[in-house]
């Protein structure tokens, strides 16, 4: 009887030992702290490009670009880790698209962890339509006024971020090294595997 049981269990045990364990999902990143530009390296980083392309494919809008020339003040664009996503806050469609993205990116994951996608993406902050959503403040919207503007009424749509959504990433995210980017950079066809 024991011999028969051993013969029945042997293939299952052998399979369990020889097959690799299912990969564990990467740990959820902490909220990003502010990582300002510290060097001039304006070439678009792979994570920034992948996120920008994913946004346009997923939500619409246009690819507004990454790189900016150095020397015009501190900007993550000058390190290739900020993306401008072209949407128009003056249109119903632009507002609806931005709201959908912001709602999705700060939603809790299946385990109830707040702002999970934004944290996995390595988003430091988002600026859109006179508001800033910063990771270090749990993405709560706060009024935003560019340091180049004295009064909002005299400030351009671009400086008010009304003609684009600005998204700044951590250095790790810019390089595509946070959990959201796993499997996304090799084929440049970002999907939504990690949610």
Q: Is the pLDDT of residue 57 over 60?
A: yes
**Average pLDDT in the chain:** 85
Which residue in this structure is represented by tokens 């950079």? 185
Q: How far apart are CA 99 and CA 86, in angstroms?
A: 14
What does the alpha-carbon distance between residue 126 and residue 20 come to, in Å, rounded to a whole number? 40
| Cα angle: 55, vertex 60, 66; to 5 degrees | 45
Report how far residue 64's alpha carbon sits from residue 32's, in angstroms, rounded to the nearest whole number.
23
Q: What is the pLDDT of residues 119-176, one digit of tens each?
A: 999 999 999 999 999 999 999 999 999 988 988 888 999 899 999 999 999 999 999 9
Please choose, from the candidates 132, 163, 135, the residue with its C-alpha nearest in 3D space to the C-alpha of residue 146.
Answer: 132
């Amino acid at each position: 009887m024991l011999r028969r049981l051993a013969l029945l269990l042997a293939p299952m045990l052998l399979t369990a030992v020889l097959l690799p364990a299912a990969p564990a999902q990467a740990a959820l990143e902490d909220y990003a702290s502010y990582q300002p530009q510290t060097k001039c390296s304006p070439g678009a980083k792979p994570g920034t490009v992948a996120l920008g392309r994913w946004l346009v494919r997923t939500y619409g809008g246009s690819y507004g670009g990454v790189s900016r020339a150095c020397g015009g003040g501190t900007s993550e664009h000058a390190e290739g880790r900020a993306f401008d996503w072209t949407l128009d806050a003056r249109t119903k469609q632009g507002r609806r698209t931005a709201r959908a993205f912001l709602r999705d990116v700060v939603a809790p994951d299946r385990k109830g962890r707040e702002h999970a996608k934004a944290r996995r993406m390595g988003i430091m902050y988002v600026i859109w339509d006179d508001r800033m959503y910063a990771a270090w403040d749990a993405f709560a919207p706060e009024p935003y006024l560019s340091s180049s503007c004295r009064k909002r009424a005299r400030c351009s749509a671009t400086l008010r971020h009304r003609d684009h959504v600005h998204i700044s990433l951590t250095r790790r995210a810019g390089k595509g090294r946070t959990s959201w980017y796993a499997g996304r950079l090799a084929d440049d066809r970002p999907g939504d595997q990690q949610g």
